[in-house]
Structures are given as structure tokens and as C-alpha cells.
Amino acid sequence: MTGLLVVTAVPVEAEAVRAGLAACAAAGSGGQGVTVAPVGVGPGAAGAATARLLALAEAAGRPYRAVLSAGIGGGFPGRVEVGGTVLASRSIAADLGAESPDGFIPLDELGMPLDQLGGGILVDADPVLLGTLRQALPAAAVGTVLTVGTVTGTADSTRLLAERHPDAVAEAMEGYAVGVAATQAGLPFAELRTISNPIGPRDRGNWRMREAFAALTAAATALGPVLGPGW
């Protein structure tokens, strides 16, 4: 079996992860046996591309052992700082459902039949993989990471999301879909995010992309020794 598959949305995120793993390899402290691949922005692209990578590896007789969704994201103010690192206890499809006069109704409350292979609105992080990540990144905030198709950009939307998901620490656009692909392949899954901006009204002046990418490289450096071929 091959090791861990790390998927990111865009190439620059993949490059940040690879830089951290390369630093480990150069120091002789691990970093080998991890495949890093950008799979596209948004749930559709990320889920489809991850599923394809997993299927191709399995067909070649070298299936992956686990899947990690990694990249940058927005953090809930007061719950995680810009530049901080987040580990998902679970990844939720936050906008999968229906609007109503009484507010948002999540998919699992609409009476739709949901299968047991990631067909609901959330994917729990694998406890063993999450425990490994937490041990390597003890300062990381741990909580729900929301997957959205549209980045939250107003104070009202931020407030409503925070009320619906009181344990949410961040939002991004791929984690849940990657988790579904991993779950349907029978593989452990986890999600890691570093925070580039506070969730809320769009203010590019408050975005810290460079710091978030640096934090992503630092996280990969810390994870290199524990995420080798054993995963």
C-alpha cells in the first residue's frame, strides 16, 4: 500500500505542503511516502478529483492508506486567530439543504434518504489520524470545519453560521467533499486548515495569505515525521 494522500485546492497550497515535507526529508526526519495533489476549488471538483485519484491508485494495486484535506481557509473571529492552524473534528457541508421562512434547513432534516457512506451532511475525522495530527500540532485549534460553496462575506451570514455551528472554527470549500470520497473508499480522513482571514465582510486588508501559507508549510514540517509510509 502507498502512504498518505494530501489533497489541496490549488497548486500554491500543494507547494506549501511539499516545502514542509521536503524540509523534513532534507533533515532526515521523515516526509517521505506522502503524495500531495491539488484537486481543484470547490466541493464538486475536489470530491470528483479525489475519488479519481483513489480509484486509480486502487486499480494500480497501490491504494492509499488515508486522505488529508489541507489548505488555507477563513477562521471564525474569537475562535481562531489569523495565521493559526485548525484541525477538523468533523467536516460539515454547511450550505447543503434548503432555505425557508424560518431559516436554513439542513439536508438531514428534510426527510431525504441518506446512506451511511458519507451521504449526510458531515464526515467525522478518523480518530486515530486526528490523534496523530493533534500530537504533532498541539497548538492547533480543534473543532468543526465548514465546507461551503460560497465563501461567507457578510456579518449576518457569519452570525447565523456561528449560531448554527457553535463548535465551528473555520470554513473552506473542499473538506466535506474530500471526506465523502475517502469514506466511500473506506479510508481514514482528516482536514487541516491554516487561517488566512477572519470570516465575515470581505476586507482584503485583513487577509494574511503569506502568513497562512507559511503556517501551512510549518504544519507540514511538524507532520512530516509522523505521516510517512505508515499512513
List, for residues 49-94, the tens digit of each pLDDT value: 999 999 999 999 999 999 999 999 999 988 999 999 999 999 999 8
What gap in Å lies between CA 41 and CA 199, rounded to an integer? 18
DSSP state of 126: P
Q: Can you spell out the DSSP letters for 134-201?
A: HHH-TTSEEEEEEE-SS---SHHHHHHHHHH-TTEEEEESSHHHHHHHHHHTT--EEEEEEEEEESSS
Tell the burial category of 106 from Cβ atoms under 10 Å away from its Cβ (0-12, 13-18, 19+).
middle
Q: 183 is written with which cell numbers?
A: 469514506
Q: What is the pLDDT of residue 116?
A: 45
> Contact 94/161 with Cβ under 8 angstroms?
yes
Residue 114 has pLDDT above 60, yes or no: no
- Exposed e or buried b per residue across 79-90, where buried means at least 16 C-beta atoms within 10 angstroms of its C-beta: bbebebbbbbbb
User: Average pLDDT, whole number, for the chain?
Assistant: 89
| Domain 4-223 fold | Rossmann fold (3.40.50)
List, for residues 155-203, the tens digit of each pLDDT value: 988 998 888 899 999 999 999 999 999 999 999 999 999 999 999 887 7
What is the pLDDT confidence band of residue 117, given thresholds at 50, 70 and 90?
Answer: very low
Q: List the domain boundaries for the chain.
A: 4-223
| Residue 102 or 40, more confident | 40
> Contact 170/76 with Cβ under 8 angstroms?
yes
List, for residues 125-149, the tens digit of each pLDDT value: 999 999 999 999 999 999 999 999 8
